[in-house]
Amino acid sequence: MTQRDPRRGRPGRSILRDRRSDWSALLAWRPERPQWMRRAAWTWTCRRPRWSAWVRWRPAHLAALRVPCPDPAAVSSALRARSGWLRSPRAVRRLALAAGVLAVGGGLAILAVYGPRVVAAIADHPYFAVTEIVMTPTTHVRSGALLEAAAVRPGMSLWRLDPEALAARLEAHPWIRRASVRRELPRRLIVDVAERKPVAILYLDNLYYVDTTGLAFVRVGDRDPIELPFVTGVEAAIVADDRPFARHAIRQALRVLDLMHAAGLPFHVSEVHIEREQGITVFPVAPRVALTFGWSGFKTKLARLERVLRDFRGRESQIREIDLTSGTAAVVRLRQPSAKGTRTRA
């Protein structure tokens, strides 16, 4: 029987308090929850799937298992910190480096695919067709013959020409000592060549021009000039395949001619004869005197020759030969049949 409060006509507070305590004890009881129930509670309270909005009833023991979701304020502060790091100079440098690497990689990929086509289209464009060829003037060979030998013609693409290969083909010509080729955009080709200078004629089975290095580079043609000293006496060495000696002997002969010209001696040389034992002998046209120099000491021997010519000034026609191969003397042989060779110190 419920006790009522005589003042208010309702049950007493002590009885209601007892009943509340009983209900609280009943509600405080929690059975042990299985694993699937824990997962379901975490899914409903934290992940919040779309169909969870339809679930209106949730047991009390599941409500008590609410897993705390991340704090929105903490999440926003973390995002702000991350965005602040992205705005830092270090992050900017890294992003710029990554963008540069991607751009270079993409450019290389595009170039690998379309590069050959683009290069071919540019190289074969009519804008780069050769319309002007500037070439050094030559004396012994025509410019057209040189260009034909080098396989160069107007209208070729300037990018298709290889300057080094062209220079090599030009230097293969016997008259060309040195050649250089360069391109000048957009349509000009500049060719610079240096010709060989013939200074003597080598007498073998045929006549050959000899340049300043002692190289017999080209055969003398029927219409080519021959007003040059003849070099003779190396036929035996060439036949014996002793080409190094022949090249050295020709160089020494040319050196003697250069020294005589530099000394200002009044000789117009017609022939330079070479012998392995006797050395070099020069035969001028006027005066007709044989000058034997040997193989060395050319400057000293030329000084002796000048003194002999001073002693025989006006009587050069009497001299048949001047032998300069002796140590400190010059042997002068005269033309008179009765006169014997005389030795003079000079």
pLDDT band at residue 194 under the 50/70/90 scheme: very high
User: Per-residue pLDDT tens for 227-276?
Assistant: 899 999 888 777 677 788 888 889 999 999 999 888 888 788 889 999 88
Cβ contacts of 253 within 8 Å, gap of 6 or more: 200, 231, 272, 274, 280
Q: Say which CATH class 126-195 falls into.
A: alpha beta
* pLDDT, the chain, mean: 76
Instruction: Report the distance separating Cα 310 and Cα 312, nearest Å.
Output: 5
pLDDT band at residue 181 under the 50/70/90 scheme: very high
79-99 residues labelled b (16+ CB within 10 A) or e (exposed): eeeeeeeeeeeeeeeeeeeee
User: Per-residue pLDDT tens for 115-141?
Assistant: 677 777 777 788 888 888 888 888 888
217 pLDDT higher than 80: yes
Q: Say which CATH class 200-345 falls into.
A: alpha beta
Structure tokens at 95: 């992003």
pLDDT band at residue 179 under the 50/70/90 scheme: very high
Q: What integer pLDDT is reported at residue 264 of this predicted model?
A: 83
Q: What integer pLDDT is reported at residue 55 of this predicted model?
A: 46
Other beta carbons less than 10 A from residue 179's beta carbon: 21
Q: How many angstroms separate the Cα of 336 from the Cα of each of 130, 207, 285, 305, 331?
A: 71, 35, 20, 21, 15
- Where in the chain do CATH 3.40.50.11690 domains reside? 200-345
Answer for the pair 176, 167: CB distance below 8 angstroms, yes or no: no
Other beta carbons less than 10 A from residue 208's beta carbon: 19
How many residues does the structure list for the chain?
346
Q: What integer pLDDT is reported at residue 344 of this predicted model?
A: 46
89 pLDDT higher than 80: no
Parallel, antiparallel or unpaired: strands 290-294 and 207-210: unpaired
Phi, then psi, of 198 in degrees rounded to 5: -75, 130
Answer for the pair 298, 255: CB distance below 8 angstroms, yes or no: yes
Least confident of 6-15, 181-190, 213-222, 332-341: 6-15
Which residue type sits at 269? V
Helices within the chain (DSSP H only): 13-28, 35-42, 60-63, 72-86, 89-123, 143-149, 163-171, 235-239, 243-263, 298-311
Answer for the pair 331, 339: CB distance below 8 angstroms, yes or no: no
192 pLDDT higher than 90: yes
Answer for the pair 167, 150: CB distance below 8 angstroms, yes or no: no
Burial grade of 159 (CB within 10 A; 0-12, 13-18, 19 or more): middle
Parallel, antiparallel or unpaired: strands 132-135 and 188-195: parallel
pTM exceeds 0.75: no
346 pLDDT higher than 80: no
159 pLDDT higher than 80: yes
Instruction: Report the distance separating Cα 84 and Cα 317, nearest Å.
Output: 110
pLDDT band at residue 339 under the 50/70/90 scheme: very low
CA angle 309, 270, 266 (to 5 degrees): 30
Who has greater pLDDT, 107 or 130?
Answer: 130
309 pLDDT higher than 70: yes
Least confident of 17-21, 33-37, 46-50, 170-174: 46-50
- Where in the chain do CATH 3.10.20.310 domains reside? 126-195
Q: What integer pLDDT is reported at residue 237 of this predicted model?
A: 74
